[in-house]
Structure formats: structure tokens, C-alpha cells
Chain A
Amino acid sequence: MLQKSAQLKKENNMKVSVIITLKKDVLDPQGKVIHQTLNDMGFNDINEIRQGKYFVIDTKETDEKIAKEKVKDMCKKLLVNLVIEDFKIIGSQ
């Protein structure tokens, strides 16, 4: 019984990951400060650092294709501001 419910739980779970990055021309002052600090710490071979966001979305949807489509929709409607950000759905498990 316990094994069955664990299996059921596994079947009803899928995690979709999405990475959000700033578009090329958008100023990223935080990335600049992180770059500067790493530079001061001795990591002096860095060309540039751009800070982004990473989301893991645990969904009840079991069909991978549909799950990714839904995450895409979430990105467009809330998670991402397309004026300044790009997103990439990087996988599901």
C-alpha cells in the first residue's frame, strides 16, 4: 500500500525548470558589482557576469509536452517581463 502511494506520488509529479536571463542590452548593476568583487578576490579572468533567475516548478501535469507548454504560458504571463528578460525551459524530470 505504502509502496503504491509512493509510486502514485511519483507519477503525479513533474518538475519543470526554467532559467530567466536579462537581455543583452539591459543594464545589470548587480552583475557588475559581483564581477568587481570576484575580481578583487583574485578571480581576474572574468569578462562579464550577468545575474538571472531560476525557477523549479513542481506540477501535477504528467504529460511532459503539456507541462512545458503550461510553464511557457506562465513565463509569458507572469514569471518573465519580455521587455527586459529572455527565458529558456531547460528540462523536466
Chain B
Amino acid sequence: MSWPQFVTVTLNGLTLAALYFIVAIGFTLIFGVLRVVNLAHGSLYLFGGYLGWSVADRTGSWVLGAVAALFVTALAGLLLQLGLLRRIHGQELREALVTIGVSIVAADLMLARWGGFTYDFSPPEVITGGLRIPLLDIGYPRYRLFVLAFAIALGLILWFVLARTRLGITVRAAIDDRDMVAAVGIDVQRLFALMFAVGAGLAGLAGVIGGSVLSISSGEDARYLLASLIVVIVGGMGSLPGTAVAAVLVALVEQYSLALFPTYAAIVSFLLMVVVLALRPQGLFGRPA
């Protein structure tokens, strides 16, 4: 592998990691606080993508599409939590089945509404086009660097909120010991609903951001659910730094293997998961049971 190629592939890995991070962070937040493995997370991603595309198409504004995706999927997540999941809270089997059921119904509804077409976004010109990287003389798409910057900013904001604000302290306390948090008089149900909405909204936003790197089409829901699962299993469920590190690991492994031996790229990320599970079953940053 030549030097410029190495740099490009590494950048590809980092920018893909950014995308994985944005998708998986909502998943891991929801699990961390509610202990719900939300198997409809991919559907929220796809719904956000489709919805954002439609809004962007109507209004001509990509940013508006992204904002709409964020809020409408947050609302959808809120409804899912309040309408379905709250009644069966703590019953793992039912939670899993209900979220799978929702994802199947949602997939067919979206197929009926948006059809099997592939949808391709047009982000604003400020963040599209190519950027020349000095010294190496290689071109790199500006939009992918934007995604990287966006993910870093999002990570920092989340870290700040979790580490420095009252809400963040409550959330971290709830992750550690929910019964005790409830016992000191904090409205846990409200916290749950809020976190579910935030997690869902992030998935929807990721639909637009990710849909602009690649494209949106039916079937993406399952792909991103799987990507999120791999990332959070490698990183440790419910851990913010774990999700970030795992996203980087998974994406780099995927991109290097695509460049070096494309035929076997599909299995390599699973191998990574197998190795992590064998050596550290709780995930890189997860705490032992």
C-alpha cells in the first residue's frame, strides 16, 4: 500500500467511524439508561433518512431536512417509548419482540410510502466538493471530513452534558443504579422518555448525515442495526468512550480489509467482534457483570 493510499484509507476509516458513532451512540444511550435493546433503532435511522430527504426535496434545504429528521424521529421514539415500551418495562423478551415487531411493520410501511428506490441527498455546497490535502497531493471529499468533525463535536457535547450538567449526573447515576435514583425522588420515567427521544432523534439525524455519505434505500435499517450492534458489543454497552473507540476500530478494520482483500471484508468485522467477546466479554469499556 502506497503512502497516499494509506492516508486515504485511514481517512475513509475515520470518517466511516464517525458515521457509525453517530448511529450507535443513540443505541448505547438507550441501553445504558433503560436497559432496552432497541431493535427498531435501524428503522428510526431509515425513517429519519427518508423523512429528511422528503423535507429537503420540498424545501430545497438540506439543513432543514436534517433538523426535521432529528425532531420527528425523536417524537417517534417518544411515542414508541410511552405507547409501547413503558407498559412492558423490564420484561426483556417482550421488549425484544415488540421492537422487532415495530421494525418489521415500519420497514413495510416505509416501503409502501417511499418505494424501493434509492435516494441520494444533495448536501449544501459549502460542505461538498473535494479538498486537496497538502504534501500528499491527494483529493478528499469535503463532506466526509464534515461528518468526522460533526461526530467529534457531537461526542464532545454529549461528554460535556454527561460530565458537567445536572441532567448528565442524573443520567450517569441512572446508568449505575436506577432504583437508588428513583428512591431519591428523581422522576425516572421522565428521564427514560427523554433519553429514548434523544437516542431516537440521533438515529434519525444519522439517517440524513449517513444518507448523504452513502444513500438511503430499503434494507438500510437492518444494515445499520447490525453496525450499531457490532459497535456497542465491541465497545461495551452503555459506554460513551467505548462507543467512540469501537466505532473507530470497526470502521478502520472494515476499510483496511476492503482495500487489502475486498472479498473477505464482510467477515473481518465479525472476527473483530469474536476476538473481543472471547478476550473481554463485557466489551472494551464495559464493566463486568
Q: Does chain A bind chain B? A: no
